[in-house]
């Protein structure tokens, strides 16, 4: 947990192993953090922040979790963890790459482009299939649970002994949770967005490292730049399938993941999203015995808002804004509570058995509280003439009636949301809604961040829909009945948006997702106003839930813009210095030593060149990545001093692609003492034109370069093109705007 | 029309006036091209390509058109025009700027941020107002025209002499067109997207140069970076108001204008879009006597598709794709015809009076053809029981019936589209639709590119809706009636999308705009499939309409990605060289001379520094813009050689902002012979850390930098940081992928 020592002085010995701070050996996959999953919560419909870092983790963790051991995570928010590694969005345009491009014909480029579309189509298709599978399983399980508990309750309602039903319910819940935990632990099954991303990472690479199968296809895509694009498409496809919101999915993927806008890429992402919704709808239509009817939306169906009930009027706008403010306040409360809870968890509940126990405890408590609420509620509603209610429970109600509270608790949350949106006025009484909101709020807050898949998205919608409907009912009661106020479903929708916005604080993509999920464009403006108000009010108190979790895990996360008031900071202050450099023709032993040092945590090394027969200082001539060096060492691309340079074994880009992305650790590569004396010629493997900036470049300018180009390393040079330092994403992520102006976080090893 | 001479050799005399090719004097506003308006067509709902260049032109032309004289434009597509200047999206972070940022407190930054939102709100509000005004005027005029012609026709139908009606109609049409031409010439009134952009440029700068009013507000925003953001918001607001599609507007603005994705900016653009739709709806609701009812969509209203008619089935998908292919073919035909027409116009019709005459001719021919079609048509349809038809004309039909062809031609196109979408099956007979499609196709093709505001968007929708409905009717006739085929309105919608997509070739934003305009999410997938098919089929034959016009006008336009197969090209080949540089402390006379040379067409000059008492070559130390030099010269920021450096007059950023964006031409600045001998110290005005690349950098890498960072100049340096060349957008735009691989266009002076 050492702070990086900063020295502005220029070290002339480039080949000395760097003293750039301490860090985890980079390529040791077993260090992947277990908490990376918590970052994005869980639950089928959970939405996580799709940072470069996060996606990388996500994609990596489906391989690594089996090996990983949970570790205690420091909860100091002034620290940035070094465990997270970013992707490299900047192509290494070395000689091999250029040769390959030169060999490729125009037709070749067209074929590549077509195969990108094919891959995106596949990603969409598989993501849709997974969503369909999940939907059917959840439906079936919920139905089974209802049947069992219902029969049990009916049996015991008359003879007394409902406590047995309670126990049954609690046991069932806990069992589901346990299965859920195991599934999460084994298959990384989780939020649709993550499923999409994992599918994308698998499909686009044409192989599965965990299954040890290589299909020898799509080999060209085995590099960060391409993979990252496909993962964005997968994430979009996941959101699209979850909400039936293809455009929302694209926007979400861009809002959370993109750094620069590329039209062709956007279209491919859109294509994947569309195919995903399409696939889901098609297979669900078969499951629902209406084959070929594609008009049904995604997994979460807000139901159809009829045209006459969706109208709103100018004088309702202030009410909507007020609801947005309430959502912002409640969201901030939710986030603060969850923040404390998470700190508690980080401190005390970091062993797997404890985590499973906590999850089961939550499940049992949830069942108990629900049961108590249902037991003491006397909100009996008449069954509809067509018995269209889902899962009605009679309990102590008269014949032909059902317990309204029971329905709210017993349904899957998706169905509860839908019934809050669409049920006739009068279906719920205000007390039921109030009690439901209160209990569900705290239960949801406790649930979020458990080791099991359980997200915040649907619970937020449900809480919001409940208090929104309550708001609508109260409005109707203080004004004359029969007026426009009479439709509480509209207010339930607005409340749902407000609560969700208050917790996660997204606006654009959330607006579109909500609009697509309602299937009605008319609500666009009110939803947007509500989300914006919720964001402004909420941001006044505390950050959004995802940002809190990112911070709690010390993820080095680049925000959208550099902190204001940071123009006075220059690359000189930000960079790591001195930095380890290699000579263009370097001794193998030196390279092995540098890579083996745990204290050298950089993944890119500037390559410098000494002018022969001159005492001029070495000039920058390229940048080489740690992973490239590993591959070179593995293939023993050495030049023996005695022989000519031509004996250096010829490597192809294919060799690098085959090793991607799980490069072996340096420890696993054996280099003999003789070989250590050989030389390595880096010329054709290094990127000969890395991006550079002078030392006086301001932080915002450096930041903009990183953001816009997706850089991982930026070399800082003086006016004679000599390396003076190296800026990485982590160096930039350290600066953020706190309450007292610009704050600097420290880099930590954990 | 000189090709730039390329020399790779390094010229050591930096202060020699550059020989970098020939060009227009940059700051001479009178050179603004008249054709820049044609680029984006016309018509209220016209959508143009929002390139950096185009926006700049657009914003500039509202000031310059009064002075501009039309010039003959070369129609050689192998040339790039030098008339177009790009914006500078890269902040000049000079000492003045840094000092200002340093002085600004955190509160100051917050205030700035808030005023950005306020400006966006204002932009949305004003754009909405304008849209509302246009809508009402068009409605009123169409109504008047209908009344006049109808009465006339009724009068002459029985007594004979319908030719008088024809003449009346033709004269009315021509009169409208003439008024339109004059409006375009005087007020740059045009497509909503342009209105929005012009409003944005005005509001955000807090002043109007043509009205000579300076409100002394928003002075901070007087620079390219900020202005460009607001113009994007204005464009989005315009599209949003036109189609009632706020999300579509945002996407359109991003798809056509953005280079990198900035979340806060996206939200502000979204805000402006929302406010714009909201304002339009609010005032239209008052106009329609339903005050406060905000549920009506934008100017173009596709009408509500009822839930039971919007369903589609899997087996319809291939039909949709087939329609997409038809749309692509027809679109390509349209584009090819319009391409030939435009070349003809560029050659022969470049005088204003000829242009007005052509426009009036088109109007008259349109009236004649319409009249003939109506006259010979015998498609009589019964009037609805509630007389809901708009503008029915009885003509030779029986009482209680109306002429269907007349309605199609007489309505405003927006209404015709709506009735094609929603009228009951059987309202139009197939022959009417076929004839209508045929004539309207050629008329629309002739109209696009006239000097008058007349767009391609609505005509495309109308043509597509007509043949789409025809397609639907034919389908219904060959299958059993009463099936799902029975709804031709659905096919009209798909046809409209196919035709529009085949002509303009956008997909993402167009999908969203169409979906928002229909108000129904269900059609998302088919519309997207259709647009994609139309694009693929159309691209096989010819480019999109906007791209054709951009090329015909030799606009130096950067595409989304560098041409494939261009990795072997390096900055060395692309750059202009030798390049004119200034010394850090430079003689005033030299600067004036360089700026006065018409042959120096660059707008940025590298600043170099000679090390005192050493014969080392000069190193790059900054970049200064032509506009900055002009302001310095105007304020006579000179150091007399005799006195100390302290006498240099202190300039503030405010002085630069006051001059923005119409910097005076160098000719208007008088510099005496004494002053020519003074020196200018550029240190605190130049950008001290311009982006640089080495000579070996590949074209795609340079391209990426330009695209991602919105650069205008990129300095090429050697490994000792000496300037060897300068790359501008125009240098990059010259390379494009033609039929025979990579082609190089030439830079032309016109």
Q: Name which residue leads in pLDDT, A53 or B160.
A: B160
Q: Is the pLDDT of residue B536 over 60?
A: yes
Terminal alpha carbon distance of chain A: 6
What residue spans of B24-103 are helical by DSSP H? 35-39, 52-64, 95-103
Comparing A19-23, A137-141, B179-183, the range with the smallest average pLDDT is A19-23
Listed residue (B478, B505, B511) closest to B493, CA to CA = B511
CA angle B305, B311, B313 (to 5 degrees): 150
Neighbouring C-beta atoms of residue A86, cutoff 10 Å: 24
Q: Which residues are CB-contacts of B116 (< 8 A; sequence separation ≥ 6)?
A: B221, B229, B268
Q: Name which residue leads in pLDDT, A26 or A551.
A: A551
Q: What is the pLDDT of residues A199-244, one digit of tens each?
A: 888 887 777 666 667 767 777 787 777 888 888 899 899 888 888 8
β partners of residue A713: A728
Q: What is the mean pLDDT of residues B614-620?
A: 75
Which pLDDT value is given to residue A541? 92
β partners of residue A606: A623
For the stretch A383-398, what's the b/e string if a residue is b when 16 or more beta carbons lie within 10 angstroms of its beta carbon? Answer: eeeeeebbbbbbbebe
Instruction: Return the H-helix or E-strand segment holding B256.
Output: helix B246-257
What is the DSSP secondary-structure string of A628-645?
HHHHHHHTT--B-TTS-G
Strand residue runs (E) in B366-429: 380-382, 401-403
Q: What is the mean pLDDT of residues B331-355?
A: 88
Q: Is the pLDDT of residue B126 over 90?
A: yes
Distance CA A699, CA B724 (A): 27
Q: Which of B109, B529, B721 sits opposite A564 (nearest CB)?
A: B109
Distance from CA of B262 to the nearest CA of A (A): 6
Which pLDDT value is given to residue A127? 92
Which pLDDT value is given to residue A643? 54
Q: Is the pLDDT of residue A26 over 80?
A: no
β-strand pairing of B713-717 with B692-694: parallel
Listed residue (A405, A748, A340, A271) closest to A556, CA to CA = A748
Lookup: tokens for B132: 């509302």
Q: Is the pLDDT of residue B727 over 80?
A: yes
* Residue B214 sits at the chain A interface (C-beta within 8 Å): no
Strand residue runs (E) in B457-537: none
How far from A599 is each of A3, A25, A28, A637, A670, CA to CA, in Å? 12, 8, 14, 25, 20
Residue B715: band (very low, low, confident or very high) from pLDDT cuts 50, 70, 90: very high
CA angle A23, A25, A31 (to 5 degrees): 95
Q: What is the mean pLDDT of residues B569-583?
A: 88
Please, how many CA atoms are within 13 Å of residue A65, restricted to the half-sphere of its CB?
20
Q: Which residues are CB-contacts of B261 (< 8 A; sequence separation ≥ 6)?
A: A254, A258, A259, A260, A261, B254
Distance from CA of A116 to the nearest CA of B (A): 15
Strand residue runs (E) in B377-476: 380-382, 401-403
Q: Which residues are CB-contacts of A483 (< 8 A; sequence separation ≥ 6)?
A: A476
| Segment 308-327 of chain A within 8 Å of chain B by CB | 310-315
CA angle A109, A114, A120 (to 5 degrees): 130
Lookup: tokens for A603: 């993944």
What residue spans of A160-223 are helical by DSSP H? 162-187, 192-205
* CB contact at 8 A, A326 and A463: no
Distance CA A286, CA A298 (A): 14
DSSP state of A160: S
Instruction: Return the H-helix or E-strand segment holding A680.
Output: strand A679-681
* Residue A568 sits at the chain B interface (C-beta within 8 Å): yes
Distance CA B599, CA B605 (A): 14
Are the Cβ atoms of A264 and B692 closer than 8 angstroms?
no
Q: Which residues are CB-contacts of B478 (< 8 A; sequence separation ≥ 6)?
A: none
Are the Cβ atoms of B515 and A525 closer than 8 angstroms?
no
For the stretch A462-471, what's the b/e string if a residue is b when 16 or more beta carbons lie within 10 angstroms of its beta carbon? Answer: bbbbbbbbbb
Q: What is the mean pLDDT of chain A?
A: 76
Terminal alpha carbon distance of chain B: 7
Distance CA B164, CA A583 (A): 90
Which pLDDT value is given to residue B615? 65
Listed residue (A681, A691, A612, A687) closest to A650, CA to CA = A681
Distance CA B34, CA B70 (A): 6
Residue A366: band (very low, low, confident or very high) from pLDDT cuts 50, 70, 90: confident
Q: Which of B106, B511, B700 sits opposite A564 (nearest CB)?
A: B106
Q: What is the ipTM of this complex?
A: 0.79
Q: What is the mean pLDDT of residues B308-337?
A: 87
Contacts of A95 in chain B (CB under 8 A): none
Distance CA B364, CA B167 (A): 8
* Residue A183 sits at the chain B interface (C-beta within 8 Å): no
- Dihedral Cα A290, A292, A293, A298, nearest 10 deg: 100
Listed residue (B400, B114, B547, B301) closest to A536, CA to CA = B114
Distance from CA of A117 to the nearest CA of B (A): 12
Instruction: Return the H-helix or E-strand segment holding A128.
Output: helix A106-159
pTM of structure: 0.81
Query: What's the residue count for chain A?
Result: 750
Q: Name which residue leads in pLDDT, A453 or A570.
A: A570
Distance CA A315, CA B292 (A): 8
Q: What is the pLDDT of residues B596-606, one digit of tens each?
A: 886 667 888 99
* CB contact at 8 A, B356 and B453: no
Q: Name which residue leads in pLDDT, B729 or B181.
A: B729
Are the Cβ atoms of B521 and A102 closer than 8 angstroms?
no
The residue written with tokens 């227009």 in the block is: B24
Distance from CA of B602 to the nearest CA of A (A): 23
Q: What is the pLDDT of residues B28-72, one digit of tens each?
A: 222 222 223 332 332 223 333 333 333 333 333 333 333 333 344
Q: Which of B102, B564, B692 sits opposite A106 (nearest CB)?
A: B564
Which pLDDT value is given to residue A727? 92
Q: What is the pLDDT of residues A412-422, one digit of tens each?
A: 777 788 888 88
Contacts of B52 in chain A (CB under 8 A): none
What Rg value do the Cα atoms of chain A yield, rounded? Answer: 29
Q: Is the pLDDT of residue B13 over 70?
A: no
């Amino acid at each position: 947990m050492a702070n990086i020592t900063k020295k502005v002085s220029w070290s002339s010995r480039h080949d000395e192993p760097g003293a750039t701070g301490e860090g985890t050996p980079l390529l040791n996959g077993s260090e992947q953090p277990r908490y990376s999953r918590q970052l994005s919560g869980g639950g089928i419909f959970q939405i996580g922040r799709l940072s470069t870092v996060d996606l990388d983790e996500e994609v990596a963790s489906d391989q690594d979790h089996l090996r990983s051991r949970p570790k205690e995570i420091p909860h100091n928010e002034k620290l940035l963890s070094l465990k997270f590694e970013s992707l490299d969005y900047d192509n290494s345009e070395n000689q091999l790459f250029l040769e390959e491009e030169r060999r490729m014909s125009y037709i070749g480029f067209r074929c590549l482009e077509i195969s990108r579309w094919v891959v995106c189509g596949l990603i969409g298709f598989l993501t849709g299939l997974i969503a369909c599978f999940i939907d059917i399983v959840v439906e079936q399980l919920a139905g089974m649970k209802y049947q069992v508990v219902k029969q049990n309750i009916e049996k015991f309602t008359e003879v007394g002994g409902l406590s047995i039903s309670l126990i049954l319910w609690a046991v069932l819940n806990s069992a589901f949770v346990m299965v859920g935990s195991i599934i999460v632990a084994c298959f990384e099954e989780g939020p649709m967005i993550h499923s999409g991303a994992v599918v994308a990472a698998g499909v686009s690479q044409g192989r599965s490292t965990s299954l040890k199968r290589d299909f020898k296809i799509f080999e060209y895509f085995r590099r960060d730049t391409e993979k990252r694009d496909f993962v964005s498409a997968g994430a979009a496809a996941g959101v699209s399938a979850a909400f039936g919101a293809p455009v929302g999915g694209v926007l979400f993927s861009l809002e959370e993941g993109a750094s620069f806008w590329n039209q062709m890429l956007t279209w491919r992402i859109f294509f994947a999203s569309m195919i995903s919704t399409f696939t889901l709808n098609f297979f669900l239509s078969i499951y629902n015995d209406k084959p070929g009817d594609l008009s049904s939306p995604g997994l979460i169906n807000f139901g159809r808002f009829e045209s006459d009930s969706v109208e709103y009027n100018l004088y309702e706008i202030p009410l909507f804004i007020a609801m947005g403010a309430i959502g912002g306040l409640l969201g901030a409360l939710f986030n603060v509570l969850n923040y404390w809870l998470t700190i508690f968890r980080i401190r005390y509940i970091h062993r797997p058995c404890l985590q499973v126990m906590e999850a089961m405890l939550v499940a049992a408590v949830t069942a108990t509280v629900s049961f108590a609420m249902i037991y003491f509620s006397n909100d009996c509603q008449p069954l509809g003439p067509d018995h269209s209610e889902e899962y009605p429970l009679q309990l102590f109600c008269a014949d032909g009636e059902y317990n309204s509270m029971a329905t709210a608790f017993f349904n899957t949350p998706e169905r509860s949301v839908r019934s809050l949106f669409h049920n006739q006025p009068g279906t719920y009484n205000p007390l039921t809604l109030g009690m439901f909101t209160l209990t569900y709020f705290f239960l949801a807050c406790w649930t979020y961040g458990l080791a099991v898949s359980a997200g915040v998205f649907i619970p937020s919608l449900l809480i919001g829909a409940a208090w929104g409907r309550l708001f609508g009912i109260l409005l109707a009661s203080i004004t004359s009945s029969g007026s426009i106020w009479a439709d509480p479903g509209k207010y339930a929708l607005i409340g749902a948006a407000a609560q969700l916005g208050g917790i996660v604080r997204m606006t654009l993509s959330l607006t579109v997702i909500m609009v697509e999920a309602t299937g009605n464009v008319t609500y666009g403006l009110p939803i947007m106003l509500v989300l914006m108000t919720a964001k402004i009010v909420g941001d006044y108190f505390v950050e959004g839930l995802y940002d809190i979790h990112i911070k709690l895990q010390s993820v080095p996360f680049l925000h959208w813009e550099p902190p204001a008031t940071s123009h006075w900071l220059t690359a000189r202050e930000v960079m790591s210095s001195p930095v380890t450099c290699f000579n263009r023709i370097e001794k193998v032993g030196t390279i092995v030593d540098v890579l083996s040092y745990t204290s050298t945590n950089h993944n890119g090394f500037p390559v410098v060149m000494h002018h022969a027969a001159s005492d001029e200082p070495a000039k920058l001539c390229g940048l080489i990545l740690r992973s490239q060096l590993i591959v070179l060492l593995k293939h023993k691309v050495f030049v023996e001093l005695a022989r000519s340079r031509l004996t250096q074994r010829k490597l192809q880009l294919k060799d690098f692609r085959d090793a991607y992305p799980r490069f072996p650790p340096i420890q696993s590569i054996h280099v003999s003492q003789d070989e250590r004396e050989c030389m390595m010629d880096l010329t054709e493997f290094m990127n000969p034109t890395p991006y550079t900036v002078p030392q006086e470049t301001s932080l915002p300018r450096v930041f903009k370069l990183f953001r816009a180009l997706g850089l991982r390393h930026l070399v800082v040079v003086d006016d004679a093109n000599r390396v003076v330092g190296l800026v990485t994403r982590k160096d930039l992520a350290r600066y953020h705007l706190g309450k007292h102006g610009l704050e600097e976080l420290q880099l930590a090893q954990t």
